[in-house]
Structure 1
Amino acid sequence: MKFGIMASHQYPHTDDLGKHLSDLFGTVELAAELGYDSVWTINHFQSNLATPQPISMMASLIPRSGNMTLGTGILLLPLFHPVHVAEEFASLDHLSGGRVVLGVGAGYRENEFAAFGIDPDTRFRRLDESLRLIRALWSGQTVYQEGEFYPLSGASIGVRPLTPGGPPIWVGAGGRKAVRRAARLGDAWYAPGNSPNPRFLPDQLAVYDDALVESGKDPATVERPVGVELYCAPTTEQAVEEALPHARTEYATYAEYPALRWQRDRFDDLVANTLLLGSPEFLIERISALRDLGFNHIIFRPGWLGMPTEKVRASLRLFASEVFPAFR
């Protein structure tokens, strides 16, 4: 079982961004020392929170992350040209010594698509075409493609990736069609673990596994990451007391976007079914359930808006010392 953290570089616009980033870099360095396996950056444009862009963040984290895998969780691929992404991630692959994962998704915020003049109804077709084109460019061959959005003739990239064939591609997806797309086009499905529906993960895993077989892939060989919200304290009562107010604030901020209003309305369901706030014993039980479903890479946000850095780091230390041994 692997464990990774979301860098979660989102902050109120009125805060000191430099101070937050300095604290974040220190937290990532600590996570590397503690033996965490991966660190993930996020991507939003015109956000209601100050959100440094993920490719820049990944480059900054390379020298601070030890041997950890670095990835985007996730890059809003329809808002980028695939040639740009292919070049950037080939470069990051070299700079990191082959530690990069390209995590992608289709996006959901209407203001982001409007800012780039992109019809959101085209986002899944753009995602599909982009992934095929990125893989073709990473092959090192000259590419000819009569695409709907990104036609290329005699194209090649200036930097070929260090990893043969390019970095792994993880596809974030929630709906059945999107999960099937993740099986067809990705190396892993980056599963969202914050659905208030307790049947979401097992039902979608079944869809994913069926689609893997249809695509000629062996379900036993793929990495199975899931993103969750997690905070560890000596007792579950302490974990809830310290973390829940900050998680509530962050989710209320997300809920300002129409597509996520349900998170405000069903926050109590999220707390009951998906927010892993608890003692080491509680977390071992909940993570064991995810392992039993087949997940083998738990990626979690270690803190939320306004949470003191020392609390975040105390949680990471306790989790590493008391929970890691149960799964390694």
Structure 2
Amino acid sequence: MKFGIMAPHQYPFEDDLRTRLRELTGLVEHAADLGYHSVWTINHFLSNLATPQPISMMARLIECSGEMRIGSGILLLPLFHPVHVAEEFATLDQLSGGRVSLGVAAGYREHEFQALGVDMDGRFRRLDEGVRLIKALWSGETLDFEGEFTTLKGARCGVPPLQKGGPPIYIGAGGKKAVRRAARLGDGWYAPGNSPNPRYLAEHTAVYDAALAEYGRTPVDRPIGVELYCAPTTERAVAEALPHARREYYSYAEYPALSWQRDRFDELVRHTLLLGSPELLIERIREYEALGFDHLIFRPMWLGMPVEDARRSLELFAREVMPAFA
């Protein structure tokens, strides 16, 4: 089992971004020293939280992330031109020494599509075509490409990626049809671990496994994104983390597609927020391991949490939980 962190670069607008970003780079450097495997960045536009953009964030994190892999978790691919993404991520791959991963998804916030003039109804077709075009460009070959949204004649990627064939592409997907798409197109399914339905992961993992067998594909690894905080006792973990997690989830619930999170927050806490002692977290992570997941990615802090608390959580988790999965 590998362990990574989601860089928590979403902040209230009244915060001093320079201070928060210095705290974040220090946290990532600390995670690298502790042996964490990966760090992932967030993508939203015109958000209700100040959200620095992921490609710039990845470039900044290269120098402070040691040997960690650096990924987008998740880039809203339909809102970008795939040629732009292919060359930006190839550049990041060169700058990082081949440590980059590309995570993409279709998006769900209607106002983002409206603001950028992209038809939201076509987002899944754009995602499909974009992934295929990026992979074709990363082959290094001169190509002709005839798609619904992009046409290229005699084109070659202007920046060769360092990794052969380009960085691995993970596809974030929630519904069963989207999970099948992840199996068909991606090098991995970036699974969401925040469904309040306790049967979700088992059911959708079965769909993914069946699709992999159908398409004859083997993923690079099997990541899952969760919320996690570690303290000496579960009671202390809940007391220190829950108010901040609630504040963050309630901010997401301002968007219509996630309004349910406010009403069902207690279910999220029971089924998906891993707030606990090392012993409890080992037990819960074993459940993900049994489903086949081998790369646990977690947000280490939420809105308003002191960075010192996040550092202590990462330290305790690295010392007492990670060795159980070595």
TM value normalised by structure 2: 0.99
Counterpart check, 1:297 vs 2:267 = no
**Structure 2 counterpart of 1:242:** 240
CA distance in 1, matches of 2:163, 2:270: 41
1:53-68 → structure 2 map (5 Å cutoff): 53-68=53-68
Q: CA deviation at 1:260?
A: 0.3
- What one-letter code is carried by the residue in structure 2 that aligns with 1:59? A
RMSD: 0.7
- 70-79 or 208-217, larger mean C-alpha shift: 208-217
Please give the per-residue CA displacement for 1:214-236, whole angstroms capped at 9, x wherever unaligned. 11114xx6411000000000000
**Structure 2 counterpart of 1:252:** 250
Matched residue count: 326
**Structure 2 counterpart of 1:312:** 310
Please give the per-residue CA displacement for 1:117-173, whole angstroms capped at 9, x wherever unaligned. 111110000000000000000011112112111111111111111111100000000
CA distance in 2, matches of 1:23, 1:161: 30
**Structure 1 counterpart of 2:325:** 327
CA distance in 2, matches of 1:151, 1:46: 29
Please give the per-residue CA displacement for 1:251-292, whole angstroms capped at 9, x wherever unaligned. 000000000001111000000000000000000000011111
- What one-letter code is carried by the residue in structure 2 that aligns with 1:189? W
User: Once superposed, which parts of structure 1, at least 4 consecutive aligned residues long, lie more than 3 Å away?
Assistant: none
- What one-letter code is carried by the residue in structure 2 that aligns with 1:229? E
**Structure 2 counterpart of 1:23:** 23
**Structure 2 counterpart of 1:274:** 272
**Structure 2 counterpart of 1:5:** 5
CA distance in 1, matches of 2:119, 2:158: 30
SS in 1 for 2:274: strand
**Structure 2 counterpart of 1:198:** 198
Counterpart check, 1:225 vs 2:223 = yes
**Structure 2 counterpart of 1:176:** 176
Q: CA deviation at 1:47?
A: 0.4
- What one-letter code is carried by the residue in structure 2 that aligns with 1:156? R
CA distance in 2, matches of 1:168, 1:246: 33
Identity of aligned residues (%): 73
Q: CA deviation at 1:80?
A: 0.3
**Structure 2 counterpart of 1:127:** 127
CA distance in 2, matches of 1:42, 1:222: 21
- 140-149 or 313-322, larger mean C-alpha shift: 140-149
- What one-letter code is carried by the residue in structure 1 that aligns with 2:42? I
Point out where structure 2 has 5 or more consecutive residues left out of the alignment: none
CA distance in 2, matches of 1:37, 1:9: 19
CA distance in 2, matches of 1:309, 1:210: 42
Please give the per-residue CA displacement for 1:289-308, whole angstroms capped at 9, x wherever unaligned. 11111110000000000000
The answer on whether the counterparts of 2:76 and 2:106 sit within 8 Å (CA) in structure 1 is yes
Point out where structure 1 has 5 or more consecutive residues left out of the alignment: none
